[in-house]
């Protein structure tokens, strides 16, 4: 009997030990699962953080790149603006110096150039009877009347003849012609055409001004296209106020140093003449005359 009780007690003890082991195993399994879940959560959080960091870095890089680009564009615009101001200031500076040397002479404020203004050079001569101003573009900007400017081809020459008794003898105004073939230059402007000494002359008149275009027959030139451009420039820019009938004479063909455009007019007791390598340059300069 005692033996059976002892066996029963042993069985109960064994069962209790087995139950404890099972519980401990379950607890360890649960802790392991929880640890795995926590690691997965940490991994996801870490991935999200890395993604956010990469996105933030990309946005930051883009912003820096955009800022650099904007800064570069602003710098380029600023440089171009500074260059334009320098070009304008050079003409203004030289003209201001010229006004001191040639008081009372009408001078243009604009150089009339499409390019090369930064290397604009000016020289002049003066006497009791006339002033002559030479405008040219060199390899570098030089001081007013620098001796080296004489070696440069002028693109424009402005002359003032002073105390002129008979302006008409210098101006060469052409009265409207009659009895010659008519040429329509614009819808409301008609000129006349005549040939002489291997050239064709096309003339038209506007107000106090006569306009004559000469074309070389030998070179196969035609005067009409140049006359039409000349009229358009006159209508756009106008010409100086004149005290007498005045003239514009143009030889077809433009090139550096050619001075093929010649505009002559009277102002007070002086006769002015501007020669230029192109019609447009001449009109731009005269538009700014003061």
pLDDT of 277: 96
Low-confidence ranges of the chain (pLDDT < 50): 1-9, 11-72, 74-86
Q: In what order do the strands lie in the sheet containing 246-251?
A: 120-126, 130-137, 154-161, 270-276, 261-267, 246-251, 209-216, 199-206, 189-196, 182-186
Q: What is the Cα–Cα distance from 33 to 39, expressed in whole angstroms?
A: 10
pLDDT of 184: 97
pLDDT of 141: 97
pLDDT of 257: 83
Q: What is the Cα–Cα distance from 189 to 191, expressed in whole angstroms?
A: 7
Is pTM beyond 0.85? Reply is no
246: left (phi over 0), alpha (psi -120 to 50) or beta: beta
* Stated length of the chain: 290
pLDDT of 10: 53
pLDDT of 31: 45
Dihedral sign for Cα 105, 246, 281, 277, please. Answer: negative
pLDDT of 256: 78
Q: Are 156 and 276 in contact (CB under 8 A)?
A: yes
pLDDT of 255: 79
* CA neighbor of 170 nearest in space, from 108, 243, 223, 231: 243
Tell me if residue 225 falls in helix, strand or coil: helix
């Amino acid at each position: 009997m005692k033996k059976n009780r002892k066996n029963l007690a042993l069985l109960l003890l064994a069962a209790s030990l087995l139950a404890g082991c099972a519980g401990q195993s379950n607890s360890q399994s649960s802790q392991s699962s929880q640890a795995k879940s926590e690691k997965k959560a940490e991994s996801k959080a870490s991935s999200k953080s890395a993604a956010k960091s990469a996105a933030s870095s990309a946005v930051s890089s883009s912003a820096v790149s955009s800022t650099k680009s904007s800064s570069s564009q602003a710098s380029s615009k600023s440089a171009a603006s500074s260059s334009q101001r320098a070009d304008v200031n050079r003409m203004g500076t030289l003209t201001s110096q010229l006004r001191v040397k040639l008081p009372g002479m009408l001078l243009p404020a604009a150089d009339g150039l499409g390019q090369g203004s930064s290397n604009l050079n000016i020289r002049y001569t003066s006497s009791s009877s006339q002033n002559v101003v030479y405008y040219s573009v060199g390899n570098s900007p030089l001081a007013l009347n620098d001796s080296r400017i004489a070696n440069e081809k002028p693109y424009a020459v402005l002359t003032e003849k002073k105390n002129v008794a008979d302006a008409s003898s210098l101006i060469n105004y052409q009265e409207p012609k009659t009895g010659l073939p008519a040429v329509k230059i614009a819808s409301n402007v008609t000129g006349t055409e005549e040939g002489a000494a291997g050239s064709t002359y096309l003339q038209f008149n506007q107000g106090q001004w006569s306009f004559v275009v000469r074309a070389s027959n030998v070179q196969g030139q035609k005067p009409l296209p140049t006359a039409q451009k000349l009229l358009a420039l006159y209508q756009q820019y106008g010409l100086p106020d004149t005290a007498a009938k005045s003239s514009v004479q143009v030889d077809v063909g433009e090139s550096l140093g050619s001075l093929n455009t010649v505009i002559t007019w009277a102002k007070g007791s002086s006769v002015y003449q501007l020669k230029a390598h192109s019609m447009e340059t001449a009109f731009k300069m005269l538009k700014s005359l003061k």
